[in-house]
Amino acid sequence: MAQFDPIEERAVEMLDDLQLEALRAETVAEDDKRFEFVLWILCLRGVAVVERVCRARGTVQGLSEGEIELAIEDAAARLLLRLSRIEPQPEVHALAAEIAVACVDRPWPTQRRAPQLTPDTPELRLVDEFAEAIESGRIRPNDWESS
């Protein structure tokens, strides 16, 4: 990782989220080697939010502990991708929360889904067709005497 001057590093650590985002946008656009350090600091702040949101939302949605951890890893990777963009990004806590929600909400193979009601009026096409056939004489109702 490219190094700031130690004093400059501490200055970066002391920036608030908005200032840090401004620095990120500047360093990423100028291909500044110090971008990586800024990215690391942003990730440190974002990952704590990712962890909390994934855990809280994943638990509510019935994900297992392992699935929650996978969602956290997924979100960490996606956070890095978003923070690599040149375009301005939202404040890192909001961004991390948005990504965490998306990672938890994706379909999971073992997710237990809430039971769903059937449509109001079931379509009984087969029964309708039988009724028409009986009416038109194409088939006859079963008669125990003739069968």
Partner 1 sequence: MSAAEDAVERAFWQALEDLKQGAEKPIEDYLRLVPREQRQELAQLLADVLLARGPGPAPDGAESEGYKRALAVVDEVLDARGEAGILPGALKAMRNARGIEPDAVVERLAADFEVEGEEGRQALARNYHRLETGMLLGSKLSRRLLSSLASVFDVDPAELLAAARPAAEGPSLRSVPAMGRSAGPQEPSPSRSSSERLPDPEVELVERLFHGGPEA
Contacts with partner 1 by CB under 8 A lie at 1-2, 10, 13-17, 28, 31-33, 35-36, 39-40, 43-45, 47-48, 50-52, 54-55, 68-82, 84-87, 93, 106, 109
Report the first-to-last Cα separation within the chain, whole angstroms.
Answer: 87
Q: Given the complex with partner 1, which of 28 and 97 has the nearer CB atom?
A: 28
Q: Given the complex with partner 1, which of 82 and 130 has the nearer CB atom?
A: 82
Q: Given the complex with partner 1, which of 54 and 97 has the nearer CB atom?
A: 54
Question: What whole-number distance in Å separates Cα of residue 119 and Cα of residue 95?
Answer: 38
Shortest Å, Cβ 116 to partner 1: 24
Shortest Å, Cβ 2 to partner 1: 6
Long-range contacts of 87-94 (CB under 8 A, 24+ apart): 87/25, 88/21, 88/25, 89/21, 89/24, 89/25, 90/21, 91/17, 91/18, 91/21, 92/17, 92/20, 92/21, 92/42, 92/45, 92/46, 92/49, 93/17, 93/45, 93/46, 93/49
Q: Given the complex with partner 1, which of 15 and 130 has the nearer CB atom?
A: 15
Shortest Å, Cβ 115 to partner 1: 26
Question: What whole-number distance in Å separates Cα of residue 99 and Cα of residue 101?
Answer: 5
Shortest Å, Cβ 26 to partner 1: 13
Shortest Å, Cβ 33 to partner 1: 4
Q: Given the complex with partner 1, which of 78 and 97 has the nearer CB atom?
A: 78
